[in-house]
Chains A and B, each alone.
Chain A
Amino acid sequence: MNTKLKVSEISKIYPGCIANDKVSLEFESGKIYALLGENGAGKSTLVKILSGVVKPDEGKVFLNNKSIKLNSPLDAKKNNIGMVFQHFNLFETLSVFENLSIDSNKTNEDLRVLVNDILKKYNFKIDLDIPVLNLSAGQKQKVEIIRCLIRNPKVLIMDEPTSVLTEQETDDLFISLKQFSNEGILIIYITHKLKEVLSLCDEVAVMRKGKVVSVSNTIDEKIESLANKMVGESLNTIKKKINNFKDSEEILKISNLNFESDDPYETNLIDLNFSLKKGECLGIAGISGNGQSELFQILSGEIITEDTSIMFRNKEISKLNPRERRDYLMAFSPEDRISQAAVPELKIYENVALNNFKSSNFFEKGLVNEKKIKDHTQKILSNFSVNTDNVELKSQFLSGGNLQKLIIGRELITSPELLVCFNPTWGLDVGAINYIHENLININQQGKSSILISTDNDELLKLSDRVCVIYKGKLSKIMNAENVTPEKLGILMGGGSID
Chain B
Amino acid sequence: MIFDLNFFGMLIGAIMASSVPLILAASGELITERSGVLNLGVEGMMIVGAISGFALMVLTDNLFLAVIGSMLSGLIISSIFGFLTQTLFTNHVASGLALTIFGIGISAMIGKNFVGIPGKDFPLLLVNLRESIPFLGPILFGHSIILYVAFALPFATNYFLKKTKLGLIVRAVGDSPVSASNQGINVALVRYSCILYGGAMCGLAGAYLSLIYTPQWIENMTAGRGWIALALVVFATWSPLKVLAGAIIFGGVTIMQLHLQAIGLRIPVQLLSALPYIMTIIVLVVISRDSRKIKLNTPTSLGQIFYKEK
Other-chain contact of A54, B165, B185, B310 (Cβ < 8 Å): B310
Q: A54 — which chain B residues lie within 8 A by C-beta?
A: 309-310
Other-chain contact of B310, A55, A83, A85, A263 (Cβ < 8 Å): A55
A223 and B168 alpha carbons, distance in the complex (Å)? 46
A-B contact pairs, 25 of them (CB 8 A): A53-B181, A54-B309, A73-B181, A73-B184, A88-B179, A89-B178, A89-B182, A89-B183, A91-B176, A91-B179, A92-B175, A93-B175, A93-B295, A93-B296, A94-B175, A102-B168, A102-B172, A102-B183, A102-B185, A103-B183, A103-B184, A133-B296, A263-B295, A264-B292, A264-B295
**What total of A-B pairs shows CB separation below 8 Å?**
70
Pairwise interchain contact B171-A93, C-beta atoms closer than 8 A: yes
Contact with B along A48-66 (1 / 0, CB 8 A): 1001111100000000000
In this assembly, does B291 line the interface, its C-beta being within 8 Å of a C-beta of chain A? yes
Q: A72 — which chain B residues lie within 8 A by C-beta?
A: 184
In this assembly, does A74 line the interface, its C-beta being within 8 Å of a C-beta of chain B? yes
A265 and B176 alpha carbons, distance in the complex (Å)? 16
Contact with B along A129-165 (1 / 0, CB 8 A): 0010100000000000000000000000000000000
Residue positions of B touching A, CB distance < 8 A: 165, 168-169, 171-172, 175-176, 178-185, 291-292, 295-298, 300, 309-310
A89 and B175 alpha carbons, distance in the complex (Å)? 11
Pairwise interchain contact B300-A92, C-beta atoms closer than 8 A: yes
In this assembly, does A90 line the interface, its C-beta being within 8 Å of a C-beta of chain B? yes
In this assembly, does A3 line the interface, its C-beta being within 8 Å of a C-beta of chain B? no
Query: Beyond A89-B183, A102-B183, is A48–B295 a contact (Cβ under 8 Å)?
Result: no
Q: A77 — which chain B residues lie within 8 A by C-beta?
A: 184
Q: A103 — which chain B residues lie within 8 A by C-beta?
A: 183-185
Q: A92 — which chain B residues lie within 8 A by C-beta?
A: 175-176, 300
Given contacts A89-B179, A264-B291, 18 further A-B contacts (CB under 8 A): A52-B184, A53-B182, A55-B310, A73-B181, A73-B184, A89-B183, A91-B171, A91-B179, A93-B296, A94-B168, A102-B168, A102-B183, A103-B184, A133-B296, A263-B291, A263-B295, A264-B295, A265-B295
Q: A88 — which chain B residues lie within 8 A by C-beta?
A: 179
In this assembly, does A250 line the interface, its C-beta being within 8 Å of a C-beta of chain B? no
Shortest A343–chain B CB gap in Å is 18
Pairwise interchain contact A48-B309, C-beta atoms closer than 8 A: yes
Q: B179 — which chain A residues lie within 8 A by C-beta?
A: 88-91
Q: A85 — which chain B residues lie within 8 A by C-beta?
A: 182
Q: Which residue of A lies closest to B186 (CB)?
A: A72
In this assembly, does A262 line the interface, its C-beta being within 8 Å of a C-beta of chain B? yes
Main secondary structure of the interface of B (DSSP, over half): helix
Shortest A74–chain B CB gap in Å is 4
Query: Beyond A73-B181, A73-B182, A77-B184, is A133–B309 a contact (Cβ under 8 Å)?
Result: no
Contact with B along A61-104 (1 / 0, CB 8 A): 00000000000111001000001010011111110001001110
Contact with B along A97-115 (1 / 0, CB 8 A): 0100111000000000000
Q: B310 — which chain A residues lie within 8 A by C-beta?
A: 54-55
Contact with B along A299-338 (1 / 0, CB 8 A): 0000000000000000000000000000000000000000
Q: Which residue of B lies closest to A132 (CB)?
A: B175
A85 and B176 alpha carbons, distance in the complex (Å)? 14
Q: B298 — which chain A residues lie within 8 A by C-beta?
A: 93
Q: B295 — which chain A residues lie within 8 A by C-beta?
A: 93, 133, 263-265
Q: A263 — which chain B residues lie within 8 A by C-beta?
A: 291, 295
A326 and B103 alpha carbons, distance in the complex (Å)? 51
Q: B309 — which chain A residues lie within 8 A by C-beta?
A: 48, 53-54
A55 and B310 alpha carbons, distance in the complex (Å)? 6
Pick the 5 closest A-B CB pairs, nearest first.
Answer: A74-B184, A89-B179, A73-B184, A91-B175, A264-B292
A38 and B171 alpha carbons, distance in the complex (Å)? 36
A98 and B300 alpha carbons, distance in the complex (Å)? 16
A52 and B179 alpha carbons, distance in the complex (Å)? 13
Other-chain contact of A93, B178, B181, B184, B300 (Cβ < 8 Å): B300
Q: B168 — which chain A residues lie within 8 A by C-beta?
A: 94, 98, 101-102
Of B176, B291, B309, B310, most A-chain CB atoms within 10 Å: B176
A94 and B181 alpha carbons, distance in the complex (Å)? 16
Pairwise interchain contact B169-A102, C-beta atoms closer than 8 A: yes
Contact with B along A319-362 (1 / 0, CB 8 A): 00000000000000000000000000000000000000000000
Shortest A424–chain B CB gap in Å is 26
Q: A98 — which chain B residues lie within 8 A by C-beta?
A: 168, 171-172
Q: Which residue of A lies closest to B292 (CB)?
A: A264
Q: B171 — which chain A residues lie within 8 A by C-beta?
A: 91, 93-94, 98
A54 and B180 alpha carbons, distance in the complex (Å)? 15
A51 and B184 alpha carbons, distance in the complex (Å)? 10
Of A54, A55, A94, most B-chain CB atoms within 10 Å: A94
A256 and B181 alpha carbons, distance in the complex (Å)? 45
A264 and B291 alpha carbons, distance in the complex (Å)? 7
Shortest B165–chain A CB gap in Å is 8
Q: Which residue of B lies closest to A83 (CB)?
A: B182
Q: A131 — which chain B residues lie within 8 A by C-beta?
A: 296
A51 and B183 alpha carbons, distance in the complex (Å)? 10
